Amino acid sequence: MKKSTIWFLAALMALTLICLLYIQIMYMESMIRMRDDQFSEGVRRSLYAVSSLLEQDETKYYLEEDVAEVEAASIYSQYGGTPRLGGMRYTFTTHSGLVGDVTVRADPDKIYNLQREDGSLAQSYNTMREELKGQYLYQKGLIDDVIINIMNKAADRPIEERADSAAVRTYLKQELENNGLALPFEFAVVNRNGHAFYKTGGFGSDDMSSLDNTLFVQPLFRNDPRQSKNYLRVYFPSKDKYILSSVKFLIPSFVFTFILIIVFIYTIVLSFRQKKLTEMKNDFINNMTHEFKTPISTISLAAQMLNDNSVRKSPAMLQHISTVINDETKRLRFQVEKVLQMSMFD
């Protein structure tokens, strides 16, 4: 095989392997980038859900402050109660004859007069509609009061009470698992200036510049005034390991590719070595052909002189011819040994 042919095949195989390796690397980068995007999107969904759950908890907190008023109004409307003097205690009597008291934590003046007279069980449709409308308007007004209360007082509560650390941890773990992200995390609740109200032990210092690649931030209580904004910061120490684990199936592909590259390089080196050995053998054969011709010709000439009767053979001539034949024979033996030695090479 010509050297130019070997070079052409080597270049073609090298180009093929480079393209194959490039495609694998690009595919791996695409997988990592896609996995990172999925991870970030799942974390953002989880943090948004945590923020919503905390807001719901706060709403429940303020609603529960007035739940006694709602229950008292409902019981009072159902059984017919008579308010006692003194303001906030009501006595009601059930149809079975039981008598009970209920305490209302609201101003009695705000409660609509829901007492109804004991009379016939049959009531007109209009009367029922008016009563239901009154109950609806009353409860709607109560809810409006609660909402105004939330808007006025919520931002004044300490963030440690509004977003309890245990609740935040529980919600985070729950929502992350719901999004398929069951991995360790660290978190902190900070204000707009970055001051941490509380944080987990592994969260690190206030300087988060070293965690930019793994840090996620979610505003808490989004309707708070700007100067009272608080944020939930979360980062994942094992994020990189988690993302790289998604491309582990590509490792055998890279291993086989590198094995193929090594075999290719070895084959090319072996081909050039074989080519060089072939050239050396050809040169050696050409050289040996010349080396064999000379002693053979000399021995042949000496034999002709010995066989030629027309040539007078003195003892000195015979001695000279004998010496020449002996020297050329040694030379031939030496060349034969070189040939045998060369035949031992691969």
Distance CA 26, CA 247 (A): 12
**C-alpha distances in angstroms, 79 versus 69, 110, 128, 211, 240?**
16, 20, 15, 62, 64
Whether 14 is in a domain gets the answer no
Confidence label for 168 from pLDDT (cuts 50, 70 and 90): very high
Q: Are 24 and 18 in contact (CB under 8 A)?
A: no
How many CA within 13 A on the CB side of residue 212? 2
* pLDDT of 31 higher than 80: yes
Q: Where a domain ends, among 237, 271, 293?
A: 237
Whether 20 is in a domain gets the answer no
* pLDDT of 48 higher than 50: yes
Using the structure block, give the residue that is written with the tokens 């045998």: 340
Q: Indicate whether this model's pTM tops 0.75.
A: no
* pLDDT of 205 higher than 90: no
Same domain, 173 and 211: yes
CATH number at residue 229: 3.30.450
List, for residues 311-333, the tens digit of each pLDDT value: 777 788 888 888 888 888 888 88
* pLDDT of 146 higher than 70: no
pLDDT given at position 199: 86
pLDDT given at position 52: 92
Long-range contact pairs involving 120-123 (C-beta distance under 8 Å, separation at least 24): none
Better-scored residue on pLDDT, 301 or 80: 301
Bridge partner residues of 198 (DSSP): 189
Whether 295 is in a domain gets the answer yes
Q: What is the mean pLDDT of residues 147-169?
A: 77
pLDDT given at position 193: 86
Would you tell me how many other CB atoms lie within 10 Å of the CB of residue 251? 10
Would you tell me how many other CB atoms lie within 10 Å of the CB of residue 7? 13
Q: Where a domain ends, among 207, 237, 267?
A: 237
Whether 225 is in a domain gets the answer yes
Number of domains in the chain: 3
| Contacting residues for 94 by C-beta, under 8 A, at least 6 apart | 79, 100
DSSP character at residue 84 = P
Same domain, 46 and 167: yes
Better-scored residue on pLDDT, 196 or 65: 196
Q: What is the mean pLDDT of residues 174-188?
A: 92
Q: Supply the range of the domain harboring residue 129.
A: 64-116+125-156
Same domain, 86 and 143: yes
Q: Are 249 and 216 in contact (CB under 8 A)?
A: no
3-state DSSP assignment of residue 67:
helix
Whether 81 is in a domain gets the answer yes
Q: Where a domain ends, among 214, 237, 260?
A: 237
Same domain, 97 and 152: yes
Distance CA 104, CA 87 (A): 9
3-state DSSP assignment of residue 163:
coil
Token pair for residue 167?
């609740």
Same domain, 180 and 43: yes
* pLDDT of 204 higher than 90: no
Instruction: Identify the CA nearest to 20 among candidates 210, 219, 272, 258.
Output: 258
Q: Are 91 and 99 in contact (CB under 8 A)?
A: yes
Same domain, 207 and 255: no
Same domain, 42 and 182: yes
Whether 13 is in a domain gets the answer no
Same domain, 35 and 172: yes
Confidence label for 171 from pLDDT (cuts 50, 70 and 90): very high
Same domain, 52 and 182: yes
Whether 279 is in a domain gets the answer yes
Distance CA 202, CA 210 (A): 14
pLDDT given at position 46: 94
pLDDT given at position 177: 93
CATH number at residue 294: 1.10.287.130
Same domain, 91 and 221: no
Distance CA 166, CA 173 (A): 11
List, for residues 64-76, the tens digit of each pLDDT value: 765 555 555 555 5
Would you tell me how many other CB atoms lie within 10 Å of the CB of residue 317? 13
Q: Read out DSSP for 266-327?
A: HHHHHHHHHHHHHHHHHHHHHHHHHHHHHHHHHHHHHHHHHH-TTS---HHHHHHHHHHHHH
* pLDDT of 274 higher than 70: yes
Same domain, 169 and 135: no
Average pLDDT, the chain: 77
Lowest mean pLDDT among 93-102, 195-204, 297-306: 93-102
Whether 301 is in a domain gets the answer yes
Same domain, 307 and 183: no
